[in-house]
């Protein structure tokens, strides 16, 4: 029996891990253990997350809680090394590009174990970004590089080591979206949900830290939304909500156009995303959901984790440029968006392909 350990480093990882857990738990020739790098009482891991995704909670919590990337790396290496002392493993699967992901990857290879990287080949080509360094290290160490699309597949193939094998298995986020599509539910909010609205999310620390640029972007959104008479629904986590509300206190247009909502569960957020007339976000996952739903999407970033959302899907990039953001947003509200489609292998069978490869 193949012993497989999956390491999740943060809340968004579970959306991608859930399909793998379901597939491996059904296989008699595999035993899967789920490890979370953080604490068992992590407030971002509410029980509703696991209920929405219909998956079990992690089997093991490493208990690492820090905001320092270097400290996270060192502590996860130590704790994951202890975990492997007591849990024999044949293959370790790591997800995305976090510091904890890189730490688990390094420990895995130091022990001579097989390493699989889920969502390999993702690049911003900006070496000043900590996550870019993580991606380079993880891909270089991995024995199995599971990519989501043609662009990332070509990057991983070009950069892989002598023992690495690259597989374009598709976008595993689509497995979760398709599995839960009929289970999405309308949020219960204190305010009514308009028939037509824009969905806004922001979470990246760099964007939140630059309050001058953020204010310009928020005002650009509010001005265009006011012109089109379309409200903006903004489910935000605590830090993002605090900063946006603080800026809104000085600009009445923001208060008028933005409805700041509490964080939503996976199924409720999925409903709000699917029914929006447009999405403005800094999240790659949210941009991918928009492409799946055929909803126009504007991403506040200089690069996309999956180029297919740009070349085939409904996504465009504006970086932090408020003027470009306003230009695209005016096109969006006028219905002048580009023609889009589903990228290749967004068919909901990514987890099955991975399981077949690892248990062969």
Q: What does the pLDDT read at residue 28? A: 87
The residues pairing with 31 across neighbouring beta strands, listed in sequence order, are 3
CA distance 22 to 32: 10
With 0-12 / 13-18 / 19 or more C-beta atoms within 10 angstroms meaning exposed / middle / buried, residue 192 is exposed
For tokens 């509200």, what's the residue? 333
Q: What is the pLDDT of residues 177-214, one digit of tens each?
A: 999 999 999 999 988 999 999 999 999 988 999 999 99
Q: What does the pLDDT read at residue 239? A: 92
For tokens 């990514």, what's the residue? 350
pTM: 0.93
Q: What does the pLDDT read at residue 162? A: 60
Q: Please state, in angstroms and as integers, the Cα–Cα distance from residue 236 to each residue in 289, 308, 340, following that order.
A: 17, 26, 28
CA distance 32 to 204: 31
Q: What does the pLDDT read at residue 164? A: 67
CA distance 272 to 233: 9
What integer best gives the mean pLDDT of the chain?
95
Identify the three-state secondary structure at position 60. Answer: strand
Q: What does the pLDDT read at residue 190? A: 85
Q: Are 319 and 124 in contact (CB under 8 A)?
A: no
Q: What is the pLDDT of residues 23-68, one digit of tens each?
A: 999 998 899 999 999 999 999 999 999 999 999 999 999 999 988 9
Q: Find the DSSP H helices in the chain.
A: 11-26, 47-53, 69-86, 99-110, 130-141, 150-159, 172-180, 205-209, 211-228, 238-248, 252-257, 266-274, 284-293, 308-311, 322-333, 350-358
CA distance 60 to 9: 12
Q: What does the pLDDT read at residue 161? A: 60
Structure letter (DSSP) for residue 157 = H
Q: Is 155 left (phi over 0), alpha (psi -120 to 50) or beta?
A: alpha
The residues pairing with 33 across neighbouring beta strands, listed in sequence order, are 5
pLDDT along the chain (360 residues), means of 10: 96 96 93 97 94 97 94 97 97 97 98 97 90 95 95 88 82 97 94 95 92 95 96 94 91 92 95 98 96 98 92 96 98 97 96 96
Q: Are 343 and 309 in contact (CB under 8 A)?
A: yes
Q: What does the pLDDT read at residue 160? A: 76
CA distance 222 to 219: 5
């Amino acid at each position: 029996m193949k012993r497989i350990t999956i390491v999740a480093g943060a809340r968004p990882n579970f959306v991608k891990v859930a399909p793998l857990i379901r597939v491996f738990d059904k296989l008699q020739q595999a035993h899967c253990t789920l490890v979370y790098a953080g604490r068992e009482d992590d407030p971002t891991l509410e029980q509703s997350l696991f209920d929405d995704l219909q998956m079990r909670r992690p089997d093991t919590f490493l208990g690492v809680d820090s905001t320092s990337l270097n400290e996270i790396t060192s502590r996860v290496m130590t704790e994951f090394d202890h975990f492997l002392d007591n849990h024999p493993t044949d293959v370790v699967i790591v997800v995305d590009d976090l510091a904890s992901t890189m730490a688990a990857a390094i420990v895995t290879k130091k022990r001579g174990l097989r390493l699989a990287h889920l969502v390999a080949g993702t690049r911003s080509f900006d070496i000043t970004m900590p996550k870019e360094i993580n991606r380079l290290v993880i891909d270089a160490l991995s024995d199995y590089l599971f990519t989501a699309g043609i662009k990332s597949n070509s990057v991983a193939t070009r950069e892989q080591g002598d023992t690495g094998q690259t597989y374009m298995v598709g976008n595993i986020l689509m497995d979760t979206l398709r599995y839960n599509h009929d289970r999405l539910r309308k949020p219960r909010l204190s305010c009514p949900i308009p028939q037509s609205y824009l969905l806004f999310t922001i979470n990246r620390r760099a964007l939140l830290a630059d309050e001058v640029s953020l204010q310009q972007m928020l005002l650009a959104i509010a001005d265009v939304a006011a012109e089109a008479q379309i409200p903006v629904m903004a489910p935000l986590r605590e830090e993002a909500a605090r900063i946006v509300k603080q800026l809104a206190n000085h600009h009445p247009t923001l208060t008028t156009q933005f409805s700041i909502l509490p964080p939503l569960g996976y199924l409720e957020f999925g409903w709000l995303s699917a029914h929006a007339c447009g999405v403005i976000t800094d999240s790659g996952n949210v941009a991918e959901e928009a492409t799946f739903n055929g909803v126009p999407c504007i991403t506040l970033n200089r690069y996309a984790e999956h180029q297919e959302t740009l070349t085939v899907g409904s996504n465009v990039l504006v970086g932090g440029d408020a003027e470009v953001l306003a230009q695209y947003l005016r096109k969006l509200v006028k219905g002048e968006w580009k023609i889009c489609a589903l990228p290749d292998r967004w068919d909901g069978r990514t987890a099955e392909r991975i399981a077949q490869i690892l248990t062969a």
